[in-house]
Structure 1
Amino acid sequence: MTWVSACKLEDIEQEGAIRFDHGGRTYAVYRGPDDSVYCTAGLCTHEAVHLADGLVMDFEVECPKHSGVFDYRTGEAIRLPACENLKTYPAEVIDGEVRVALG
C-alpha cells in the first residue's frame, strides 16, 4: 500500500468532497462533519459520474446525475439507482495534509 498526498484538509469544506486524480484513476476525498477524512472511487457505480460534484451531507454523498446515495465511510450504496458499492481507501490527515492509501 502506498500513501499519496491528495490535498490539504483546508481544501475540502466540512461535509464536502474534492476530486483527486492519481495514476490514471479518479477518486473522491471527503471531509466529514467531525473533520474525519475518507476516500472512495471517484465515479458513481451506476453511471460513472464524478461523486465530488454531488451533495455531501453527514456521511453520505448523493450522485449529481440520478440521486443515488452512498455512505462514503463504507462505500455502501444506500439509495437506488446505485446498487453496487464503491471501493474505499484508507485516508488520514498528517500535519494538515490529507493522504490516501492506494494500491
Structure 2
Amino acid sequence: MSWIDIGALEDIPRQGARVVKTAHGCVAVFRTLDDAVFALSDRCAHKAGPLSDGLVHDHKVTCPLHGWVFSLETGQALGADQGSVPSYPARVEAGRILLDAARLTAGATA
C-alpha cells in the first residue's frame, strides 16, 4: 500500500472527525475515544448526510440527519438491510494519520 499523511492524530478531537477532499468525493476521518482512526465516505447511504457531523460512539457513527448508525470498522449500516458506505484503510504512525493513497485515488472501498 501507498500511504498519504493527512495530519496529526491530535488535530482530530476524540469522538470527532475531519474531512479530506478527494477527486472521488469527501472522506470523513474519525478518531474514537480509544484513539482508533477510521475513514469512511462522508455521505450517508440513506440521504447523503455528512457523516463527519455525526455522533461518534464506540466504533460507530450516527448520521446527523436520520439517525442511521454505521460501523466505523466496515462502513456497514447497523440495522436490517440498510446498506453501507465505502471505507478506506487508515492507520496512525508516529502520531500522524495515514490513509491508503491508492484506494483514495481509485475510489475503491476497503
Q: CA deviation at 1:24?
A: 4.3
Q: Secondary structure at the match of 2:78?
A: strand
Deviations 1:46-77 (A, max 9, x none): 11111001111111101111111101111110
Give 2:94's aligned amino acid. Answer: D
Corresponding position of 1:100: 99
Corresponding position of 1:3: 3
Matched residue pairs, number? 102
Q: CA deviation at 1:41?
A: 1.0
Q: Secondary structure at the match of 2:97?
A: strand
Moved over 3 A (4+): none
Measure the CA separation in 1 of the matches of 2:65 and 2:79: 13
Measure the CA separation in 2 of the matches of 1:83 and 1:20: 25
Identify the structure with the greater strand proportion: 1
Q: Please, which runs of 5 or more residues in structure 2 have no aligned partner?
A: 104-110
Identify the structure with the greater helix proportion: 2
Measure the CA separation in 2 of the matches of 1:2 and 1:46: 31
Measure the CA separation in 2 of the matches of 1:42 and 1:4: 18
TM-score by length of 1: 0.87
Give 1:98's aligned amino acid. Answer: I
Corresponding position of 1:91: 90
Give 1:67's aligned amino acid. Answer: G
Q: Secondary structure at the match of 2:65?
A: coil
Q: CA deviation at 1:39?
A: 0.7
Measure the CA separation in 2 of the matches of 1:12 and 1:45: 24
Corresponding position of 1:22: 22
